[in-house]
Amino acid sequence: MDKEETKMKRKYLMTPGPSPVPSFAREALSREIIHHRTPEFRQILNEVNEGLKCVFCTKNPVLIFASSGTGAMQAAVNNFFSLGDKVVAVCGGKFGERWRDIAKSFGLDVVEMEVEWGAAPAIEDLRKILDANKDVKGVFTTLCETSTATVYDIEAIGRVTKEKNLLLIVDAISGLGQDKLFPDEWAVDVVVCGSQKGFMLPPGLSFLSLSRKAQDFMKNSNLPKYYFDLNKALKSYEKEDTPYTPAVSLIVGLREVMSEISKEGIEKRWERFKMMANAAGEAARALGLEIFSKRPSASLTAIISPPGIKSSDIVKTLRKEYGVSIAAGQDSIKDKIFRIAHMGWINEQDLIMCFSLLEKVLKDLGYKFKIGASISRLQEVFYG
């Protein structure tokens, strides 16, 4: 019998989305369905709307869509600009490139700011691009570029875009909840997120916050829209409703996870995940490995595979032999790095479990290091 087939083989999800869904959220997903145009659901929606403001650290409305995160990214493209408008897309990984591609699909004039994969954008380079392109109306960038495990300095980017009165739109899909973000203080106009990472839910919901400035931009956009029409969504939001049938069960689950996030406190969570990221980096170095990112995110860690070992082989073996799912690289760095998530429900003990099996796999693949080195390092960082 194939090992995969028995349920006795435990599985561990350490991928940067979907990330594990805790049992208290899964219980909520399995409750009897309720109608969305009832006082009962309105009450849930109200709580969720308030909770989202806390988790997003914003006073702005946060809209909810039934879609993956990419749906909300599209909404952030075709609601604020018009055909031919010039925008900058910061491209230092797969998700920055997604901004570029969506913006091009909708006929925007996209200035691509190329950033070396693994690096964060240099603020002086962004300033140069904006000085050379006085007609730019907005900047699209990323909080945590998941493909390289890099966190961008949104605060610094926000200073530049605010000074030039541009719309700043940030994909925080994998970063939100782990990587520090103060949208209002940092002049971020639009923050996009999804349900399956820091929010600890299955995929299927996306979120989008709207500053006052973003709401003004919305009024002048002439790009075609319907399902992701933010004017319509905002109007429904103000009436404590949704324009189309919402993904009721996921929203019921959302209430549960947000209540638990609030209990821990968002800033405490930021600290905890930053500590986990530091620990993962230290653990990698204890094995003689290097981390890929020059500005590591608190949400996941990308480790460069040892010479002669393809990262996809590490990933495959971990999953097949030990039930542990991590992620390889994407596109040109597919076989160069492997990525371990520490987001949402993933905790310190999961990292210890993951590195203990990573050591086993590295050893079996012929890499030389001192067994237990990463675990001792994690223990030191976590438990002092």
The nearest distance, CB 35 to its own copies, in angstroms, is 5
Contacts to its own copies from residues 122-141, by CB under 8 A: none
DSSP assignment string, 143-185: SEETTTTEE--HHHHHHHHHHTT-EEEEE-TTTTTTS---TTT
The nearest distance, CB 58 to its own copies, in angstroms, is 24
Among 42, 97, 204, 321, which residue interacts with its own copies (rule: CB under 8 A)? 204
Q: Is residue 66 within the footprint of its own copies (CB under 8 A)?
A: yes
**β-strands 136-142, 86-91 pairing:** parallel
Specify whether the backbone of 344 is left (phi greater than 0), alpha (psi in -120 to 50) or beta.
left
Eight-class DSSP state of 231: H
Among 1, 6, 32, 263, which residue interacts with its own copies (rule: CB under 8 A)? 32
> Contact, 342 vs 298, CB < 8 A?
yes
Q: Is residue 383 within the footprint of its own copies (CB under 8 A)?
A: no
Give the separation between CA 222 and CA 113, rounded to whole angstroms: 25
Give the type of residue at 219.
K
> Contact, 279 vs 381, CB < 8 A?
yes
Among 1, 8, 33, 132, which residue interacts with its own copies (rule: CB under 8 A)? 33
The nearest distance, CB 266 to its own copies, in angstroms, is 23
The nearest distance, CB 363 to its own copies, in angstroms, is 25
For residue 318, what are its two tokens? 């971990």
The nearest distance, CB 86 to its own copies, in angstroms, is 17
Stretch that binds its own copies, among 8-16, 46-54, 128-136, 285-293 (CB under 8 A): 8-16
Q: Is residue 15 within the footprint of its own copies (CB under 8 A)?
A: yes
Our CB check for its own copies shows the closer of 217 and 228 to be 228
User: What string marks each residue from 210 to 229 as x (binds its own copies by CB under 8 A) or -?
Assistant: -------------xxxxxxx
> Contact, 143 vs 170, CB < 8 A?
yes
Number of chain positions touching its own copies (CB under 8 A): 59
The nearest distance, CB 87 to its own copies, in angstroms, is 15
Stretch that binds its own copies, among 11-19, 56-64, 264-272, 298-306 (CB under 8 A): 11-19
The nearest distance, CB 316 to its own copies, in angstroms, is 11
The nearest distance, CB 72 to its own copies, in angstroms, is 9
Our CB check for its own copies shows the closer of 14 and 129 to be 14
Q: Is residue 48 within the footprint of its own copies (CB under 8 A)?
A: no
Give the separation between CA 164 and CA 161, rounded to whole angstroms: 5
Give CA torsion, residues 54, 59, 60, 62, to 10 deg.
Answer: 10
CB atoms within 10 A of CB 306: 19
Q: Is residue 244 within the footprint of its own copies (CB under 8 A)?
A: yes
The nearest distance, CB 73 to its own copies, in angstroms, is 8
Residue 278, SS3?
Answer: helix
Give the type of residue at 344.
G
Among 3, 9, 34, 268, which residue interacts with its own copies (rule: CB under 8 A)? 34
Q: Is residue 46 within the footprint of its own copies (CB under 8 A)?
A: no
Give the separation between CA 121 and CA 153, rounded to whole angstroms: 8
DSSP assignment string, 28-56: HHTSPP--SSSHHHHHHHHHHHHHHHHHH
Give CA torsion, residues 314, 346, 5, 23, to 10 deg.
Answer: -170
Among 49, 231, 312, 325, which residue interacts with its own copies (rule: CB under 8 A)? 325
The nearest distance, CB 217 to its own copies, in angstroms, is 18
Cα separations (Å) of 342 from 81, 143, 166, 272, 300? Answer: 35, 15, 33, 10, 5
Stretch that binds its own copies, among 7-15, 84-92, 274-282, 361-369 (CB under 8 A): 7-15
Q: Which residues bind its own copies (CB under 8 A)?
A: 4, 11, 13, 15, 17-21, 26-27, 29-36, 38-40, 65-71, 73-74, 77-78, 101-102, 105-107, 194, 196, 202-204, 223-229, 244-250, 319, 325
